[in-house]
Amino acid sequence: MRIAHLSDLHLLDLEGAVPYRLFNKRLTGYANLRLRRGHKHKPEPVTLAVQRLADLAVDHLVVTGDVSNLALEREFDRVRALLEGAVGLSADQISLVPGNHDVYTRGSVKKGRFAEWFSRYMTSDVHDIGAEGGFPFVRLRGPAAIIGLSTAVSRPPFVASGQLGKRQIAALERVLAHPEVKARTPVILQHHPLHNPASYTKTALEGLWDAQGEIRALRDVARGLLLHGHWHRRVRKPQITERGSIEVIGATSASLLHEDASKMAGFNVYEIDDSGAIGEVTTFCFDAGARGFNQVGLPRTA
């Protein structure tokens, strides 16, 4: 099984965003786009990545959040149109979880906007796990059990941290104990990384507040993948469990133009064989001059 991993698309579309809708947290986000992000995040690498995936014969596409910038309807429209035309895959072959930008305001959360636009990519094949709010969802695909989690929480301006919550962590434990999941290799999707920064302040502002609770929930996993975004850089770090280890792998932003190759736009591809063993991990880095992608190494952190 070949799984492609995109993250942090950050597709911006302000058409129809009347001024009063920017007079909330979006105002700081909009300023950030104009002063810092606007010249770095571009839609072209995302479009070209989707086209490149078609040549790679992937079986499943996973997207680990921040598909939008400001959680506006037009942004979600752009993402949905992209996915519907992506690599010839059906909704059953695409799995998606939200990032903090996808729940950017309390209004977008209250209206359930992300779920309204993308529920077809978050259906579950396991229903007896006591999930709340649609998470975790479980999609049983060949040798893999794709598990979608939501770390996305609407925060005050300048705070981008995530949280799973006790109920979702408890449900994750039930998922991992489910016979259909135990018979497969778990592929866990979430936006925020499992491993937090060393700085307490940076963790409070950008990290996953209850990462230790999730680590405890993963203690009986012998092998698996945990895929994330959020940091906008390629990174690979194992999480040792009581029975083995999980490969925790982050994808960079699919739209980010950056001079640092570890952050330059791109995507990852993972292979899982019929026995459930995790095989080759391939990373693709955008070449702006050639308007294509080159294979690069994936940095490993101890």
Mean pLDDT check: name the lowest of 138-147, 155-164, 246-255: 155-164
Q: Decide if pLDDT at 171 tops 50.
A: yes
pLDDT of res. 32 = 58
Q: What is the residue-averaged pLDDT of the chain?
A: 90
User: Tens digit of pLDDT for each residue in 143-160?
Assistant: 999 999 999 998 888 899
pLDDT band per the 50, 70, 90 thresholds, residue 12: confident
Domain 2-296: homologous superfamily in CATH: Metallo-dependent phosphatases (3.60.21.10)
User: Tens digit of pLDDT for each residue in 30-58?
Assistant: 555 555 554 588 999 999 999 999 899 99
Percent of the chain at pLDDT exceeding 70 = 90
pLDDT of res. 302 = 57
User: Tens digit of pLDDT for each residue in 199-231?
Assistant: 999 999 999 999 999 999 999 999 999 999 999
Task: Give the global pTM.
Answer: 0.92
Tell me whether the omega of the peptide bond preceding residue 136 falls within 30 degrees of 0, making it cis: yes
The rounded distance, in Å, linking the Cα atoms of 288 and 205 is: 32
The rounded distance, in Å, linking the Cα atoms of 71 and 252 is: 20
Average of pLDDT values for 178-204?
96
For the chain, strand residue ranges (E) read 2-6, 60-64, 94-97, 137-141, 144-148, 185-189, 223-228, 235-240, 245-250, 266-272, 278-287, 292-296
- Residue extents of the structural domains in the chain: 2-296
The rounded distance, in Å, linking the Cα atoms of 142 and 32 is: 42
Q: Where are the alpha helices (DSSP H) in the chain?
A: 25-32, 43-55, 73-84, 106-110, 113-118, 166-177, 179-182, 200-206, 211-217
Specify the DSSP class assigned to residue 16.
T
